[in-house]
């Protein structure tokens, strides 16, 4: 089942560190290419990378399953507190965020989403209000949409017992799809299985987020919008050493990580914020 939805405390616990030092290495905000290889060499290389990814996913899943529940709860609270206090969250007016799933052992987002939904945007223009879009998986071919919601009751459990927005509201009207919205979103809060300090993100293998992020980045470019700030939420044990996470051409790098001890800036956009 998903995490219970609670109203965030008005006195969030102090965090240890809100902004960590410059990471040891940087990766440009772009996908990674394979260079000059013939077709067979490229396929062999990709097969090896996918094999490495599968092995790493297995190890991280086992580590998450063995994670002490009390530690996990503390890290959930610390991460959400850091996000809530961050200038890039507070200044955002439109954002896409995942609905955390307890069974998948994702970093909890319930307090973040409750905070957003308590202060909805009005006509898309407000200093504190935010337009919120959350994911809905459409099929098994990496097709995912981000639909606008205004309250927790807009969510329904799918066949995997994961909360998603219903495609239509209570009045039978289609929910706004972020890809058809007139205004851009400025922030994505992303899940994942593993991350490193150069922005590499290991997903669960479906390719849903990488596919969606690429499409949205192309939309932003076509409309001359500022590219959204990509932030991944990570437990301590999910942060890997450099070189552990393999990257394929379709993988999208993140701008920053939020760990229980602070924000890890990666891209130039993160350093400027």
Per DSSP, the residues of 63-76 read HHHHS-HHHHHHHH
Cβ atoms within 10 Å, residue 128: 11
Give me the pLDDT at residue 179, please. Answer: 97
Core vs surface per residue 27-48: b (16+ CB within 10 A) or e = bebeebeeeeeeeeeeeeeeee
Reference 190, options 219, 232, 224; nearest CA is 232
**Is 23 domain-assigned?**
no
Residues 160 and 201 sit within 8 Å (Cβ to Cβ):
no
Q: Determine the Cα–Cα distance for residues 204 and 201; give it in Å rounded to an integer.
A: 10
DSSP 218-244: HHHHHTTPPPPEEEEE--GGGBPPTTS
Does 166 reside within a domain? Answer: yes
Give a yes or no: residue 32 inside a domain.
no
* DSSP single-letter state for residue 15: P
| Location of structure tokens 């097709």 | 143
CATH of the domain at 175: 3.40.50.10420
What does the block give as tokens for 55?
Answer: 């092995």
Round to whole Å and give the CA distance between 146 and 97: 9
d(CA 207, CA 198): 20
For residues 228 and 204, the answer to whether their CB atoms sit within 8 Å is no
**CA pair distance 25, 113, nearest whole angstrom:** 32
CA 214 to chain centre: 14
What domain count does the chain have? Answer: 1
The confidence score (pLDDT) of residue 129 equals 81
In a domain, 153, yes or no: yes
**Is residue 31 assigned to a domain?**
no
DSSP string for 69-99:
HHHHHHHHHHHHHHHHH-HHHHT-SEEEE--
How far apart, in whole angstroms, are the C-alpha atoms of residue 252 and residue 230?
A: 10
Q: Is 5 within a domain?
A: no
Of 125, 147, 126, the C-alpha closest to 136 is 147
Instruction: Give, for all 273 residues of the chain, the pLDDT tens digit.
Output: 434 443 333 333 333 334 443 333 333 343 444 555 676 667 766 777 778 899 999 999 999 999 999 999 999 999 999 999 999 999 999 999 999 999 999 999 999 999 999 876 655 443 458 999 999 998 878 899 999 999 988 999 887 788 999 899 888 899 999 999 999 999 999 999 999 999 999 999 889 999 999 999 999 999 999 999 999 999 999 999 988 998 888 899 999 999 999 999 999 999 988
Q: For residue 232, is it within any domain?
A: yes
From residue 145, alpha-carbon distances to 17, 127, 133, 135, 138 in Å are 34, 26, 9, 6, 7
Quote the domain boundaries for residue 174: 41-122+129-272
Domain-located, residue 36: no
Tokens of 264: 């890890």
Q: Please name the residue ranges forming H helices in 67-207.
A: 69-85, 87-90, 110-118
């Amino acid at each position: 089942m998903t995490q219970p939805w609670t109203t965030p405390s008005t006195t969030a616990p102090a965090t240890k560190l809100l902004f960590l030092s410059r990471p040891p290495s940087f990766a440009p905000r772009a996908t990674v290419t394979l260079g000059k290889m013939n077709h067979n060499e490229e396929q062999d290389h990709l097969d090896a990378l996918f094999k490495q990814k599968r092995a790493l996913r297995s190890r991280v899943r086992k580590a998450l399953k063995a994670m002490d529940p009390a530690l996990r709860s503390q890290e959930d609270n610390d991460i959400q507190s850091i996000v809530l206090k961050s200038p890039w969250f507070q200044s955002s007016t439109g954002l896409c965020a995942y609905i955390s799933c307890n069974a998948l052992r994702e970093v909890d987002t319930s307090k973040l989403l409750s905070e957003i939904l308590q202060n909805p945007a009005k006509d898309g223009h407000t200093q504190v209000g935010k337009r919120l879009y959350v994911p809905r998986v459409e099929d098994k071919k990496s097709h995912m949409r981000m639909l606008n919601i205004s309250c927790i009751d807009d969510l329904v459990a799918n066949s995997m017992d994961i909360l998603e927005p219903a495609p239509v509201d209570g009045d039978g009207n289609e929910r706004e799809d972020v890809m058809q919205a007139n205004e851009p979103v400025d922030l994505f809060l992303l899940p994942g299985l593993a991350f490193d300090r150069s922005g590499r993100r290991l997903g669960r293998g479906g390719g849903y987020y990488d596919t969606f992020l690429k499409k949205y980045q192309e939309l932003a470019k076509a409309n001359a919008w500022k590219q959204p700030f990509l932030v991944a939420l990570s437990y301590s044990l999910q942060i890997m050493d450099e070189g552990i996470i393999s990257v394929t051409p379709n993988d999208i790098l993140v701008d920053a990580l939020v760990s229980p001890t602070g924000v890890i800036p990666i891209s130039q956009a993160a350093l400027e914020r």
